[in-house]
Structure 1
């Protein structure tokens, strides 16, 4: 982050939630324009005492709710994908789906990066279960890892679907099909935002 482009009004001091340091947490807010995402608010926090740090990016604009679908295999691994913090990513034939949660972040990657994220999540789940993992769960997880490998080496084709109720995601490929979602379809999607009814 280029601090020369940050207005002094965008830098604040706060108490650290980790070490409790008095005004040791620096909070920096900055707006930027990112390809695919448009205008975003970038927030980074860091504590000079304990080293705690965190960052997040939030899209400041909305577009029409959209759904992108692409048949993927080894020839599509380098296709660029922009996923906003509100998008749902699905590989239906593999039985994989990630919906946004409160800590969901947007990112720009490629198809291989998406597959790697799913792969990493399955491996973490196996490690988390440890010795208590059931044979059925372990076999299912290993089967998913095998299917992901088959997609990467071109032995399997599967759909990649990205649905975004705020339309800030894209699969940047001529073969990708884009369709606008109805408001009813968009309302069924998880956004990751917490709302409080008054």
Structure 2
């Protein structure tokens, strides 16, 4: 990577507020099947704060990606931009973008692990019996999929077309206009 594509700065830590200790690293990458992205990382040696993000620098047509999760495709590459909604309807889990959404590059198993972590957090947050029962059922289904048992549908909807599931087995289609209007983008709308 050339020096023009890499920038490092020492900044005020956004977590502990100490001036001149956190390192901000930004680098531009060209990822196959995805395009140009800006990878950002902030590290603070004083408080241990760490934040990473992948920001797409190119905008494409809105796209819907559908992949059947099974034991043979847990290693398929998944690129999720900060604007994408990811869901597994059979399990009832869905992550929509918000103002603090982060993009990431992982695989199908990594997406399942992210959902697993979120369900574990929900178990600790919600104490009512119905939420606990729903979370335990979802957690068991996610863990079974990670072991290669059963199938489910991974759906990723990206209004800016910056995400990708890198496989010949993925179905890619346009997002219908009505569905597109309902999608969250993770960005604030200053016109509202």
**Equivalent residue for 2:135, pick from 131, 141, 145:** 141
Q: Can you give the 5+ residue segments of structure 2 that lack an aligned partner in the other structure?
A: none
In the alignment, structure 1 residue 74 sits paired with structure 2 residue 71: yes
Provide the C-alpha distance between the structure 2 equivalents of 1:158 and 1:8, rounded to a whole number of angstroms. 39
SS of equivalent to 1:145: helix
Q: Can you give the 5+ residue segments of structure 1 that lack an aligned partner in the other structure?
A: none
Bigger helix fraction = 1
Provide the C-alpha distance between the structure 2 equivalents of 1:79 and 1:17, rounded to a whole number of angstroms. 34
Does the CA-based 8 Å contact 2:53-2:104 persist in structure 1?
no
Aligned counterpart, 2:109: 112
The higher radius of gyration belongs to: 1
Does the CA-based 8 Å contact 1:90-1:161 persist in structure 2?
yes
Provide the C-alpha distance between the structure 1 equivalents of 2:188 and 2:4, rounded to a whole number of angstroms. 29
Provide the C-alpha distance between the structure 1 equivalents of 2:148 and 2:139, rounded to a whole number of angstroms. 14
Provide the C-alpha distance between the structure 1 equivalents of 2:132 and 2:51, rounded to a whole number of angstroms. 33
Aligned counterpart, 2:38: 41
SS of equivalent to 2:142: helix
Calculate the TM-score normalised by the size of structure 2.
0.84
Figure out how many residues of one structure are paired with residues of the other and give that number. Answer: 192
Provide the C-alpha distance between the structure 2 equivalents of 1:97 and 1:9, rounded to a whole number of angstroms. 34
In the alignment, structure 1 residue 123 sits paired with structure 2 residue 117: no
1:13 is displaced (CA, Å) by: 4.5
1:193 is displaced (CA, Å) by: 0.9
Calculate the TM-score normalised by the size of structure 1.
0.82
Map residues 38-187 of structure 1 onto 2, 5 A cutoff.
38-47=35-44, 49-129=46-126, 133-187=127-181
